[in-house]
Amino acid sequence: MSRPEISVRDLHKSFGDNQVLRGIDLEIGQGEVVCVIGPSGSGKSTLLRCVNLLEEPTKGQVFVGGTEVTDPDVDIDAVRRRIGMVFQQFNLFPHLSVTENLTLPQRRVLKRDKAQAARIAAENLARVGLAEKADAYPASLSGGQQQRVAIARALAMGPEVMLFDEPTSALDPELVGDVLAVMRGLAREGMTMMVVTHEMTFAREVADRVVFMDGGVIVEDGRPDQVIGAPRHERTRHFLSRLLDPAMAEVEEDVPDQGGTGRP
């Protein structure tokens, strides 16, 4: 693996008595695409949010590009300028045009002038296939288009790392493909990416590595053909069987508990 762009060491995170992360160790090399999969409540999104300190770890260290994010004296705003984050929801300003949504953070955070910010906005809208929507407002766009605008907004800040938290989960199925196509393009460009996702086809085709989490720990970490194609652990196999055959998962959930012991 190339030099670590993201390094997570013995990371713990608790919310009150609920221990969500239980000692995570993970490294992501420069230019690597790592997809993080696992059931709801496994800690995937919390791990992602700890990388740019949207959640403050209870214990452990996080490094991005060699800078310790968890150092109490770190300039977190400077670190975050190197990290792009795309959420499930698009978080666009409805009263601003698409171009204005892209130029506002550039001008306020990076202090770019209006002309430079507009040029970079146009370049990144073209990058995600939405150059013709520069003057549109978010309400006139489909969910997939709004998510691509959100990706373009993150890219306009010139990040070294992109974090994606279930970027297609809020989209209608027919809109997912366009967003994943943009992400595939970023992977081909060599962008370092950490992606929390349930899109197994994307993980198989694009990820350099797949990390399976459950119960706040990493259960498996390896190539997609290993983790998805031939998982070593029963927990991984069970998760993938339910994810890839949801009809069967519903049947399982409808079966009454046996002897009051419950089912996994």
Q: Judge contact between 33 and 5, C-beta under 8 A.
A: no
Question: 57-109, pLDDT tens digit by residue?
Answer: 999 999 999 899 999 999 989 998 899 999 988 899 999 999 999 999 999 99
- C-alpha distances (whole Å) from 151 to each of 68, 179, 203 are 25, 9, 18
- Name the percent of the chain lying above pLDDT 70: 92
- C-alpha distances (whole Å) from 30 to each of 35, 67, 190, 191, 221 are 15, 14, 8, 8, 17
* Count of other CB atoms within 10 angstroms of residue 234: 10
Mean pLDDT of 30-48: 95
Mean of the per-residue pLDDT values of the chain: 90
Q: Judge contact between 34 and 223, C-beta under 8 A.
A: no
Q: What is the DSSP string of 143-207?
A: HHHHHHHHHHHHHTT--SEEEEESTTTTS-HHHHHHHHHHHHHHHHHT-EEEEE---HHHHHHH-
- Name the percent of the chain lying above pLDDT 90: 83
- C-alpha distances (whole Å) from 246 to each of 130, 227, 230 are 34, 19, 19
- pLDDT value at position 262? 35
Half-sphere CA count of 221, side-chain side, radius 13 A: 10
Q: What are the phi and psi torsion angles at 136 (to 5°)?
A: -75, 165
* pTM for this model (two decimals): 0.89
- pLDDT value at position 174? 87
Question: What element of type H or E holds 51?
Answer: helix 44-51
Check the CA dihedral 128-134-139-141 and report its sign: negative
Q: Judge contact between 3 and 16, C-beta under 8 A.
A: no
Please determine, for residue 259, whether its predicted confidence score (pLDDT) is greater than 70: no
Question: What element of type H or E holds 123?
Answer: helix 114-127
DSSP state letter for 256: P
Q: Judge contact between 162 and 190, C-beta under 8 A.
A: no
Domain locations along the chain: 94-158
What are the tokens at 254? Answer: 């409808």
